[in-house]
Amino acid sequence: MGKVKQWSVEKKDAIETMLINMWASLGMDIPNNYEDIVQDCYEDVCETADPENWHSGDVAIAFRRWIEKQNVRPLPMSEPKSAEDVSIGETIYRMAELRYLIEGLDDDDQICIETIDLETGDTQDLYPMYVDVIENVRLTDGSIVREVRFCQRPNVQQEGEPEFDNDYFKIVHRGWCKASQREEIQIHAGQHGNIFLYQDGDKLGFIIDVYGENDIADTMTVWEDDLNPEEETYAPENFSMVEIEDFKDEWGQFHDEICAELGVPDSNDADDILMVDYFWLPTDNKWIPKCASTYSERQQAIADFLRV
């Protein structure tokens, strides 16, 4: 026995509202023939979806079927941009725009299909995908193009892959949260776990809060500087001539100056006394401290380099 069809005015009105919201989220105006589209999608949902537990996803599928039944593809609701004018997160229409957005990616970077709730914008799940190319698609302006479709595959275990729990982690929200007044990602983990990721108040990193069934179980902050530390190296080839000359001007002292400052008699024994804590730089005729509490790590490295 086939599915029981459930027809009602309330159901049709709800489908009409979902279609209008979906068009708005895609940046589309309401089509002139929207009543015909609503009727077609209404009949599709009644005939194919669960009569009790149908949802906005069924409406989106019905609208896709309506498009596929047309002899021509509609032109984009807004003019396609030049490739250089698009950015991540914007609607794109042409392969030139897609190529521009992905030109900096590596061959090993991953791709997937993200499904969202058309009413809330929340992420529902991520799926593997395949590409299909439809030849000889006629647009309403009469031009003939190829249509590239990015098609969802089910999240199933592939041959040779280890077993995994496909439902253990589930993204339940991504975006602005009105209750907490912040942008965040919420991930449901296992039976009782909830993970929240959001940026710290000073925007220097992000915070991960892990909640159990009753209360927060753990929290940690990850700093941007820790994710991409700029490791300073003190190899001699990294010291510029200007930097070395500035160091000698700042820290170097002539013989009579340092003797007067330290109270060392300017005699033949002076060199032996000074060489305990200083080294002589003959090219400049200056004494420079071997080490100093006020040296930075880089200054100490320059002093060590000049001593050699």
Confidence band, pLDDT 50/70/90 cuts, at residue 60: confident
Tell which residue, 180, 182, 185, 188, has the closest CA to residue 196: 185
CB 46 within 8 A of CB 12: no
* Helix pair 34-48, 9-25: axis angle to 10 deg: 120
Average pLDDT in the chain: 81
* pLDDT for the residue 149: 83
- For residue 1, the model assigns a pLDDT of 38
As a whole number of angstroms, the distance between CA 194 and CA 190 comes to 8
* Average pLDDT rounded to a whole number, residues 41-68: 86
The highest-confidence range among 90-94, 138-142, 164-168, by mean pLDDT, is: 90-94
Task: Please compute the mean of the pLDDT values over residues 2-27 and round it to a whole number.
Answer: 77
User: For the packed helices 9-25 and 56-69, what is the interaxial angle rounded to 10 degrees?
Assistant: 80
What percent of the chain clears pLDDT 70, i.e. is strictly above it? Answer: 84
Burial of 251 (0-12, 13-18, 19+ CB in 10 A): buried
Mean pLDDT calculated for residue range 83-111 = 83
Tell me which of 59-68, 158-167, 226-235, 292-301 is least confident. 158-167
- pLDDT, mean of residues 77-104: 77
Mean pLDDT of 45-50: 86
Q: How far is CA 45 from CA 6, 22, 25, 77, in A?
A: 9, 16, 21, 25
Residues 194/188, Cβ–Cβ less than 8 Å: yes
Whole-number Å distance between alpha carbons of 91 and 86: 8
- pLDDT the model gives residue 2: 42
- Predicted confidence (pLDDT) per residue in 247-298, tens digit: 999 999 999 899 988 888 877 788 888 889 999 999 999 999 999 989 988 8
pLDDT of residue 4: 43
List pLDDT tens digits, range 192-224: 788 999 998 888 899 999 988 777 888 999 988
pLDDT value at residue 3: 44
- Across the range 17-42, mean pLDDT stands at 84
| Confidence at residue 129, expressed as pLDDT on a 0 to 100 scale | 85
**More confident call, 182 vs 250:** 250
Q: Which of 62-71, 75-84, 246-255 has the weakest average pLDDT?
A: 75-84
Q: How would residue 79 be classed by pLDDT, with cut points 50, 70 and 90? A: low
Enumerate the domain spans of the chain: 9-69, 76-156, 161-230, 236-307
Q: Which of 11-20, 65-74, 252-261, 271-280 has the lowest mean pLDDT?
A: 65-74
Least confident of 21-30, 70-79, 125-134: 70-79
Q: Within 10 Å of residue 132's Cβ, how many Cβ atoms? A: 10
Contact 244, 302 (CB under 8 A): yes
pLDDT (average), residues 166-180: 73
| Residues 6 or more apart whose Cβ sits within 8 Å of residue 171 | 123, 124, 125, 126, 185, 186, 187
3-state SS, one letter per residue, for the chain? CCCCCCCCHHHHHHHHHHHHHHHHHCCCCCCCCHHHHHHHHHHHHHHHCCCCCCCHHHHHHHHHHHHHHCCCECCCCCCCCCHHHCCCCCCCCCHHHHHHHHCCCCCCCCCCEEEECCCCCCEEEEECEEEEEEEEEEECCCCEEEEEEEEECCCCCCCCCCCCCCCCEEEEEEEEECCCCEEEEEEEECCCEEEEEEECCCCCEEEEEEECCCCEEEEEEEEHHHHCCCCCCCCHHHCCHHHHHHHHHHHCECHHHHHHHHCCCCCCCHHHHHCCCEEEECCCCEEEECCCCCCCHHHHHHHHHHHC
